[in-house]
A and B are shown apart, each in its own frame.
Chain A
Amino acid sequence: MTGRNPAKDKVAIAGVGLSPYARDRGATTELAMALEAAVAAIRDAGLAAADIDGVVGGGLLTGGIDPATVVSALGLPAVTWWARTAPPIMNHLVAAVNAVWTGACEVALVYHSVYRVGGFSRSANADPFRRRATFGLPDGRAAAGDGHTDAEPWSMHGSAGYAAWAGRYLAEFGASREDFGRIAINDRSNAAANPNAVLREPLTMAGYLAGRMVREPLCLYDMDVPVDGADAFIVTTAERARDMPAAPVLVHAATMGMTAPPQEHLAAGLEATGQPLAARDLRAKSDLWLDDIDLFFPYDGFTVVALRCFESYGFCGPGEAGAFLADNWDEDQNRITIKGRVPVNTHGGSLSEGGSQGAGHLREAVTQLRGQAGRRQVPGAQVALLTPGGFFFNAQGLVLRAG
């Protein structure tokens, strides 16, 4: 761990692009969505193909689109740096920030796509082309990851691991499912004002508690909603971003955290995962912290991840997040408002906008810090804290500030 942060405020996000999320976009391809987002982001930044000299991205379920495919499909004439990265989004963003900061490239295109594949949902499995898009072995088991060659119902890799630690959280702290429910309800209330969110109907606590149990103690509403869609970002120097059309958003501090052993079933404890490590490292790198933020985006691929973020990042002590959310609950808006001021996952998060491994959180943070979030806009928002990724092998943290 290092507190060094020489790139602080030196690199900016200067463009964003979206390929809209939907529960099922039907007969499209992952590449089509990634390119739609990429072209939108490049145009948002006022750039053209010849300006892009860095390309980085990837997706989860298919293994994602290779940078060479993006370079080919967009006809990028001169690229000097590229990398293929696995989600969550900070793998992409940290790589891009470092490449820009070191001079490996001047303008990086960052792309992230989600494409529902066979085995991931019933509707996706009904599409023979999506069955062939699955990454890994034919039965859906991951191709990568030692110790992860077995799948549910025999392995805790992925969703079952979060369910198992959610159960241990409940047992260890005497917490209740209502504590998880507040994360889900907050997201749903916020999603109502986000046209990109796929779930916008209000959710009550009674409705949450009646949700179909999937991986006990996690129910349908505790797990992110599968979508098709893509996001893209333009990353360049803060200096250059100031000459571009959109208001720059500065990368103030960024980090990632992983501890041994990172496998779900072997992790020493919630206090010893990558999430608290990312929190400590981000704290050491950032001049701005909890009292300075206007927006909080705890990652919520599973409710327990977001709930634990409030503890790992120091809003409250271990096991106190449920009470903290109750104390900071806005009854009128049916959502979390920290100290009556800071909203949480204003776009509806992974649980209601759609599961995109933090790409949606990053897009919403940039949109808010530009002042372009419409009905969702937090007036005068200047600083956002994001915690993409989960507990184990993909915890990440980010502080963004308006430039």
Chain B
Amino acid sequence: MDSDDAEVLERFPAVRLDHLNKRYYQGLLRHELLAGRCRACGTWHTPLRPICPSCWSAEVSPVPVSGRGTVHLLTFLHQGPPAPGVDYPGGFPLAAIELAEQSGLRVEATVVDCPRDRLRIGLEVELTWIDRDGAPWPAFRPAGPRV
């Protein structure tokens, strides 16, 4: 076990880490959101896979995404297990964000800094970060102007 392994194991004690997905979580510690990308066919995928789900090439590696996307699925959770920073009575938003890189490439995350009446399917969003148990996790907020 190298020092990078020790850090990710320590920072994400509740995650079922393995020798593949640890690279995703190591990315989170660097504030990088990673998705799998195939060097043979160029297709992206989530979660990280050992071979490309499209062409089965083993030439896949985690690559940072731009962080821009749209809300594809959205629910508001009004009850659930207690979690720091999660406000159930107000309806805690949980979304599937379709990333700009590719149709169907999605990650699950909450949406922050967005009034309830603006938050709907189709909203353009961008990556930000929240703290969960002392580690950075991805979240999304309404997209600012493209620069």
Binding site for B on A (CB under 8 A): 119, 137, 139-141, 146-147, 149-156, 160-161, 163-168, 171, 212-218, 260-261, 264-266, 268
The range of chain B's interface size is: 20 to 34
Contact B78 A260 (CB under 8 A): no
Known A-B contacts A119-B81, A168-B121; the reply to A154 vs B108 at CB < 8 A is: yes
A215 pairs with B77, CB closer than 8 A: yes
Flag if B73 contacts A153 (CB, 8 Å): no
**Distance of A214 Cα from B77 Cα, bound (Å):** 6
- Whether B96 is near chain A, meaning CB under 8 Å from some CB there, is yes
| B127 → A minimal CB distance (Å) | 16
> Is B68 at the interface (CB under 8 A from chain A)?
no
| Complex contact A147–B47 (CB within 8 A) | yes
Residues of B within 8 A of A (CB): 14-16, 46-47, 53, 72-81, 83, 86, 88, 91-92, 94-96, 104, 106-110, 120-121, 132, 137
Instruction: Enumerate chain A residues within 8 angstroms of B74, measured Cβ to Cβ.
Output: 164, 167-168
B-side contacts of A261, CB under 8 Å: 53, 104
Q: Which of A153, A171, A218 contacts B80 (CB 8 A)?
A: A153
Chain A residues in 8 Å Cβ range of B132: 154
Q: Are A153 and B78 in contact (CB under 8 A)?
A: no
Q: Measured between C-beta atoms, what is the minimum distance from A104 to chain B in Å?
A: 33
Chain B residues positioned under 8 Å from A260 (CB to CB): 53
Minimum CB–CB distance for B51 against chain A, Å: 13
Inter-subunit contact B81/A140 (CB<8 Å): yes
Hey, which chain A residues are within 8 Å of B72, CB to CB? 168
**8 extra interface residue pairs, beta carbon distance < 8 Å, beyond A153-B86, A155-B94, A163-B75:** A139-B81, A153-B80, A154-B83, A154-B109, A154-B137, A213-B78, A216-B78, A217-B75
**The residue from B75, B88, B106, B120 contacting A160, defined by CB atoms under 8 A apart:** B75
Establish whether residues B75 and A164, one from each chain, have CB atoms under 8 Å apart when the complex forms: yes
Q: How far is the CA of A165 from the CA of B120 in the complex (A)?
A: 13
